[in-house]
């Protein structure tokens, strides 16, 4: 009778194929590196084939390893779908669900969404990770989080990978924020060309909003670079420069700061994403619904 390959050992091989090292695979699988090594050794004994070989500090799959890893990916996806279907059949929102979200949505959307999930689904345990959209998508694909809240500026164009479903929550508009005594404070709107030579305050390099600002206004060099939109607004209030800030990041403006609409209107798409294999999981549907309601509340 043929040996039945253990799913845990297939997960170990799949993690090695994705991450390249025993340490990284252990982090992804939430186990020790030695446990990953043991699973690989057992899998090689079961299959009678050498599946990995050392390549410096990394592990490289052999031809047999790549063949089995390709099958493992499909098998594990099928198991994920089966578990989601079973959960849907039970019609119970339960288990553990982790959401990754960009910073402003963490403050504007997630408090309401997480509270609603806690109140309506007490059997569901939730977690939250704040990170930029690129990191959130990576965590989602790798299975580290279950749902990702993303912002996508058209000038940056976030790419949704295969195997991920995406739904738009709405559009968020950015305005020019200026000190109350600024010459543009009373303008009904202002063109992008008109504001190019201002003293700029921006997000940190590497952040999607920093990248977006430099593409919207090519050639500008921000003088004040900070990590939070709240800090940008505080610096504007102090008369130290101007900033382009999305409305989602500023429910209210402090005294001394005026918002001026910009032409053409800068907008970003805010959306929610999840793995296709988890589409039928009730917890996923509950999280998406809670986020949609949180967005609708902002509009009201």
Cα(293)–Cα(204) distance, integer angstroms: 31
Using only C-alpha atoms, the chain has a radius of gyration, in whole angstroms, of 24
Residues 132 and 214 in one domain: yes
Indicate whether 151 belongs to any domain: yes
What per-residue confidence (pLDDT) applies to 158?
Answer: 87
pLDDT digits (tens, 9 = 90+) for 242-254: 999 999 998 789 9
Residues 119 and 138 in one domain: yes
Residue 3 pLDDT class (50, 70, 90 cuts): low
What per-residue confidence (pLDDT) applies to 252?
Answer: 85
Q: Which token pair is 244?
A: 């382009």
- DSSP letter assigned to residue 163: T
Mean pLDDT, residues 39-57: 89
Residue 1 has pLDDT above 50, yes or no: no
Mean pLDDT, residues 97-117: 96
> Which of 293, 299, 290 is closest to 247 using CA atoms?
299
Report percent pLDDT > 90 for the chain.
65
Residues 61 and 182 in one domain: no
Residues 195 and 229 in one domain: yes
Indicate whether 286 belongs to any domain: yes
* CATH code of residue 212: 3.40.190.290
Q: What are phi and psi of 38, to 5 degrees?
A: -65, -40
Cα(259)–Cα(186) distance, integer angstroms: 9
What per-residue confidence (pLDDT) applies to 82?
Answer: 79
pLDDT digits (tens, 9 = 90+) for 10-36: 899 998 998 889 898 888 888 898 999
Residue 184 has pLDDT above 50, yes or no: yes
Residue matched to tokens 């709240």: 230
Residue 271 pLDDT class (50, 70, 90 cuts): very high
Residues 78 and 144 in one domain: no
Q: Which token pair is 158?
A: 């976030």
Indicate whether 203 belongs to any domain: yes
Indicate whether 133 belongs to any domain: yes
Residue 83 pLDDT class (50, 70, 90 cuts): confident
Residue 287 pLDDT class (50, 70, 90 cuts): very high
First to last CA, the chain: 64
Residues 20 and 137 in one domain: no
Residues 82 and 54 in one domain: yes
Count structural domains, the chain: 2
Residue 300 has pLDDT above 60, yes or no: no
258 DSSP β-pair partners? 178
Mean pLDDT, residues 213-237: 94
Indicate whether 282 belongs to any domain: yes
For 40, counting Cβ atoms within 10 Å of its Cβ (0-12 exposed, 13-18 middle, 19+ buried), the class is buried
Indicate the residue among 63, 89, 115 that finishes a domain.
Answer: 89
Map 218-236 to HEC letters: CCCCCCEECCCHHHHHHHH
What per-residue confidence (pLDDT) applies to 55?
Answer: 86
Cα(185)–Cα(293) distance, integer angstroms: 34
Indicate the residue among 89, 111, 132 that finishes a domain.
Answer: 89
What per-residue confidence (pLDDT) applies to 155?
Answer: 85
Residues 20 and 154 in one domain: no
275's enclosing H/E stretch is strand 267-275
What per-residue confidence (pLDDT) applies to 88?
Answer: 66
What per-residue confidence (pLDDT) applies to 8?
Answer: 86
Residues 65 and 17 in one domain: yes
Cα(98)–Cα(199) distance, integer angstroms: 39
Residues 260 and 127 in one domain: yes
Cα(180)–Cα(183) distance, integer angstroms: 9
Q: Which token pair is 248?
A: 């989602």
Indicate whether 2 belongs to any domain: no
Mean pLDDT, residues 231-243: 96
Domain that holds residue 59: 7-89
Residues 82 and 105 in one domain: no
- DSSP letter assigned to residue 198: S
> Which of 108, 100, 2, 112 is closest to 46 using CA atoms?
2
- DSSP letter assigned to residue 180: T
Computed over every residue of the chain, the mean pLDDT equals 91
- Contact call for residues 284 and 274 (beta carbons, < 8 A): yes
Indicate the residue among 45, 72, 89 that finishes a domain.
Answer: 89
Residue 4 has pLDDT above 80, yes or no: no
> Which of 184, 201, 195 is closest to 235 using CA atoms?
201
| Biggest alpha carbon–alpha carbon distance for the chain | 83
pLDDT digits (tens, 9 = 90+) for 194-221: 999 999 999 999 888 999 999 999 999 9
Q: For 61, left (φ over 0), alpha (ψ -120 to 50), or beta?
A: beta
Residues 41 and 165 in one domain: no
For 42, counting Cβ atoms within 10 Å of its Cβ (0-12 exposed, 13-18 middle, 19+ buried), the class is middle
């Amino acid at each position: 009778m043929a040996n039945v390959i253990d799913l845990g050992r297939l997960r170990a091989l799949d993690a090695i194929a994705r991450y390249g090292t025993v340490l990284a695979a252990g982090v992804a699988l939430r186990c020790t590196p030695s446990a990953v090594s043991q699973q690989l050794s057992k899998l090689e004994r079961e299959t009678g084939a050498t599946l990995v070989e050392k390549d410096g500090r990394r592990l490289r799959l052999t031809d047999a390893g790549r063949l089995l890893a390709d099958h493992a990916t499909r098998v594990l996806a099928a198991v994920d779908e089966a578990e989601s279907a079973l959960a849907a059949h039970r019609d119970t929102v339960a288990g553990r669900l982790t959401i990754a979200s960009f910073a402003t949505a963490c403050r504007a959307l997630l408090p309401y969404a997480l509270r609603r999930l806690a109140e309506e689904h007490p059997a569901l345990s939730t977690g939250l990770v704040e990170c930029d959209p690129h990191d959130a998508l990576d965590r989602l694909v790798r299975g580290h989080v279950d749902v990702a809240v993303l912002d996508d500026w058209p000038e940056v164009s976030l790419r949704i990978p295969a195997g991920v479903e995406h739904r738009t929550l709405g559009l968020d508009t950015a305005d020019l924020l200026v000190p109350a005594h600024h010459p543009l404070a009373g303008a009904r709107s202002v063109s992008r060309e008109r504001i190019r030579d201002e003293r700029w305050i921006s997000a940190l390099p590497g952040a999607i909003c920093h990248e977006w600002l430099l593409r919207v206004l090519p050639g500008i060099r921000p003088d004040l670079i900070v990590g939070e939109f709240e800090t940008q607004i505080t610096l504007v209030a102090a008369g130290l420069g101007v900033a382009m800030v999305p409305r989602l990041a500023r429910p209210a403006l402090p005294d001394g700061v005026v918002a001026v609409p910009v032409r053409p209107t800068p907008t970003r798409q805010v959306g929610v994403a999840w793995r296709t294999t988890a589409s039928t999981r009730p917890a996923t549907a509950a999280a998406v619904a809670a986020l949609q309601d949180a967005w609708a509340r902002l509009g009201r």
